[in-house]
Structures are given as structure tokens and as C-alpha cells.
Amino acid sequence: MPKITVKQIGSPIRRPKIQRDTLIGLGLNKMHRTRELEDTPEVRGMIRKIPHLVEIVSTS
């Protein structure tokens, strides 16, 4: 399964609870942390929900 690397670039402070929960679901909770995840439609959907808080660093 292909992998995708996601980096948190925005703070969850003063964001709606659903956005904070999405960050936690991606395994992110502090600024500038990266996480390598499986490239699935579910993960892509979570990233699409919070594009202002995360960026895709690389795909493989």
C-alpha cells in the first residue's frame, strides 16, 4: 500500500472540536510533527477536511 507523509502546519487552538479530533485521528497534535500514513480514501478525506492545518510532504 502506498504511503503519504503529512505535516501539521497549523495550531488546533481555537478551532472547532471536529477539526481537533481530525488532527488526533491523523496522529498529529503538536506543531511541525510529521506522520507517515497509508494512502487511503479515508486519510485523504481527513486531510481535505483540514487543509489549513496540514500539508502533504511526500507520497510514495
Q: Give domain limits for the chain.
A: 3-59
Residue ranges with strand state E in the chain:
3-8, 34-38, 54-59
Segment 23-33, tens digit of pLDDT: 999 999 999 99
Task: Report d(CA 12, CA 41) in Å as an integer.
Answer: 23
Cell 483540514 belongs to which residue? 50
Task: Report d(CA 51, CA 31) in Å as an integer.
Answer: 14
Segment 11-23, tens digit of pLDDT: 999 999 999 999 9
Domain covering 3-59 in this structure, CATH number: 3.30.1390.20
Indicate the pTM of the whole model. Answer: 0.92
